[in-house]
Amino acid sequence: MAQTASADSSPAPYRQALDRVIYLLDRDLAPVQKVRAFLRGRTILDGLDPGDVERLALAGRLSSLDGIGPSIDAVVRGAYGAGPTAYLDGLEASTEVPLGPGAELRARLQGDCHSHSTWSDGGAELRAMAEAAMALGHEYLVATDHSARLTVAKGLSPERLADQLVEIEALNEELAPFRILTGMEVDILADGTLDLPDELLARLDVVVASVHYKIHQPEREMTRRLVTAVANPHVDILGHCTNRKVLNKPRKPSTFDADYVFAACARFDTAVEINCRPERQDPPDELLALACEWDCRISIDSDAHAPGQLEWVNYGCDRAAELGIEPERIINTRTADDLLALCNR
């Protein structure tokens, strides 16, 4: 039987609407339970025939299904023109990620150097992350899932990393000219060595190194730990250097001799990250200014764990612009080729 393939390839209206709601909740850092409720609802409806979803929506009977609450019911009815679209419209407006003085810089960003997918603790497949990055106008996205030590985040063993590299190659063929660059957010161990052998780090395009445990070591130890890590020739970016948290459960920053650490970053060509996650906003302004005084390169990274969070680079652009950081200092204003040339010097 002849098929109208083009009409069949776009997602059903309920799916488009629910995907958008999930995207918007993520960019608003909404409570995980709320996002999960929509993800569960989406899975339930995915299990039905799309025609049945439409019939139930038009008849106002969706909420008779287990796991479909009034919000999901309203969104799906709106998607089929059987009710107002107020819920989704309200979210579009209330979750918008503002962009002020950093607008010009934002327009110069070519990509994002720190992101997670379901390969570790991200909430979306790598393909969905890449497609969202494309929609934001990026030329590339670096896939930096966690390394193995972070077991709570399903960190990548060398074997799983190899599998991820195969997936990236396939996706890149399909999504070209967009590029997923290979990478990892490798854990900085307590003595400053890294959670992946050098020969594997050498195979990756961009390596972010971050501390995720023992974040309140004595200052001398933390200084030595960070200097050791950023001096590793395979490390390109120092991730969220103080590990402070300013929202949700606030957390004090690590203490280290920032002059030593940033001097080492400058000496060994390791960029200092502006981590754009709203709960991190790391490093604080005074340290960011100090990194620039030491002539460090800077990377503006979303550290997105879901597609909607990729928009958070706006926050970092505003911070960089407010501090007068020159676009030339920011490594992700470079094209993918220029970034690779810089990282694989």
Q: Peptide bond before 218: cis, by omega within 30 degrees of 0? A: no
Nearest CB to Zn ion, comparing residues 42 and 146: 146
Nearest CB to Zn ion, comparing residues 73 and 185: 185
Query: Residue 212 Cβ, how far from Zn ion at the closest point, in Å?
Result: 6
**With the C-alpha atoms ordered 35, 309, 311, 244, is the resulting torsion angle positive or negative?**
positive
Nearest CB to Zn ion, comparing residues 210 and 254: 210
Q: Which spans of this chain sit near Zn ion (rule: CB under 5 A)?
A: 185, 210, 303
Nearest CB to Zn ion, comparing residues 236 and 303: 303
b vs e for 123-150, b when ≥16 Cβ sit within 10 Å of the residue's Cβ?
Answer: bbebebbbbbbeebebbbbbbbbbbbbb
Nearest in space to 51 (alpha carbons), one of 12, 20, 21: 12
> In sequence order, what are the residues at sequence separation of 6 or more whose Cβ sits closer than 8 angstroms to the Cβ of residue 146?
116, 120, 121, 153, 154, 155, 156, 184, 185, 187, 212
Beta bridge pairs of residue 251: 245
Query: Residue 257 Cβ, how far from Zn ion at the closest point, in Å?
Result: 22
Query: Residue 59 Cβ, how far from Zn ion at the closest point, in Å?
Result: 44
Counting Cα atoms < 13 Å in the Cβ hemisphere of 176 gives 5
Nearest CB to Zn ion, comparing residues 102 and 122: 122
Query: Residue 185 Cβ, how far from Zn ion at the closest point, in Å?
Result: 5
Nearest in space to 183 (alpha carbons), one of 111, 115, 137, 268: 115
Compute the distance between CA of residue 134 and CA of residue 218 in angstroms, rounded to an integer: 42
Beta bridge pairs of residue 182: 143
Nearest CB to Zn ion, comparing residues 25 and 186: 186
Run of H or E residues at 142: strand 140-143
Query: Residue 219 Cβ, how far from Zn ion at the closest point, in Å?
Result: 21
Query: Residue 321 Cβ, how far from Zn ion at the closest point, in Å?
Result: 23
Query: Residue 51 Cβ, how far from Zn ion at the closest point, in Å?
Result: 41
Nearest CB to Zn ion, comparing residues 95 and 210: 210
